Copies of this chain bind each other. A is one copy, B any other.
Amino acid sequence: MPEWRKDPVVDRWVAIATERGKRPSDFKCVIHEKNDGRCPLCVGREKDTPPEVMAFRQAGSSKDTPGWWVRVVPNKFPAVRIEGSQGVANRGVYAVMDGLGAHEVVVEVPDHVDNLDMQSEKQVAEILWAWHERSLELRRDRRFKYIQVFKNYGSTAGASLEHAHSQIIATPMVPVEVKNELAGFSSYAQATGRCIFCDLIAQEIAERERVVIQGKNFLALAPFASRFPFEVWIVPAFHQHDFVLLNEEQVRELARILRACLRKLSVVLCDPPYNIVLHTSPVNDMETKQYHWHLEILPRLTIIAGFELGTGYYINPTPPELAARYLRETNVQNEELSHREVI
């Protein structure tokens, strides 16, 4: 029998195929299209992007020249703009607002490579620090209520540039997904006095079947109501509402686990397209300590189609228990070591 499973925090039921679940070999290998055009994100082409807002670069090297290892620039074709007010105006039955926001691109590596999972743990940690620094900087603009960090890898996951990059969009409102999560955290806290994610982590560690990697500070797991085959979440094992509260040791471990999860997905699923989405507390007057931040890795092997768009619910042909077993049993440890030695 298939099974309807509800996300523990939000109203999202997923029909999960529990018996003849789709295995990795049931999914086609995705051929990543190669873009022959001149890449504006490559080192040496700094003038092809708007001026950088931040970079980790060698001492003495100048802004918008080579010498950087992670570089953040405004999106050349931003979805939102930094100018404008947060006032909502009515046009009859409709509501509108200036397209206020910030839209930045985090260039994750200087050379033209696309795979984040093939970078060193140290490089992944530097990317996390860039997310961290921009998250702190953008919230200083008090018009912003949320800083959305995300990554699209592969054209079917929405990447329009091949060069490894992530994006940050600051919005003047708290997104509905985050509001819904907050409502879920609140109602559980009111009923039990506890954080549902903290309870969930304890249950997952006890049950083990959905655990992918258990670290000292983080748990990587295939979520119980996974929307997508081989979906993986990385959750702090302790209560922390905001991503920017991470310390150095935690960032180092998060980088190691994130990279290992991406390597495992790449090995098991033949380099799949994916999205990474950071879920963290709103900022400024909307900040809330009840939130438990986490990273969602969403492989895009299935299509969000009419059923999902109509209902907000999902159909997932791969039980998360099966996905977790494949990912757990795929060893990327030695590979990591050898890779680290090379760098």
Contact = CB atoms under 8 A, between A and B. Distances in A.
A165 B200 CA distance: 41
A229 B306 CA distance: 16
Contacts of A313: 171, 175-176
B305 A309 contact: no
Nearest to A95: B6
B311 A79 contact: no
A298 B15 CA distance: 23
B306 A99 contact: no
Interface hub of A5, A83, A307 (most chain B Cβ within 10 A): A307
Interface in A138-171: 146, 148, 150-152, 155-159, 167, 169, 171
A328 to B, nearest CB: 20
Interface stretch (A107-115, A247-255, A271-279): A271-279
Contacts of A151: 306
B305 A158 contact: yes
Given A157-B303, A176-B11, A224-B94, A309 B3 contact: no
A203 B310 contact: no
Contacts of A277: 306, 309-310
Given A12-B176, A150-B307, A156-B303, A4 B312 contact: no
Nearest to A151: B306
Contacts of A4: 80, 96-100, 172-173
A237 interface: no
Interface string A209-225: 00000000000000011
A203 B158 contact: no
Copies of this chain assembled into the complex? 2
Contacts of A305: 150, 152, 157-159, 275
A80 B310 CA distance: 16
Contacts of A83: 1
A309 B152 CA distance: 11
A307 B2 contact: no
A93 interface: yes
Given A97-B3, A152-B306, A305-B152, A15 B158 contact: no
A178 interface: yes
A155 to B, nearest CB: 8
A175 B303 contact: no
A242 to B, nearest CB: 16
A270 to B, nearest CB: 18
A159 B305 CA distance: 8
Contact of A148 (B99, B177, B307): B307
A17 B176 CA distance: 21
The 10 closest A-B pairs by CB, nearest first: A158-B305, A150-B306, A2-B99, A175-B311, A158-B303, A277-B310, A177-B312, A4-B97, A275-B306, A176-B312
24 contacts: A1-B99, A2-B79, A2-B80, A4-B96, A4-B100, A4-B172, A8-B94, A11-B176, A13-B97, A13-B173, A15-B80, A18-B99, A92-B200, A92-B203, A93-B203, A150-B305, A150-B310, A158-B304, A175-B310, A175-B311, A176-B312, A180-B312, A276-B306, A304-B304
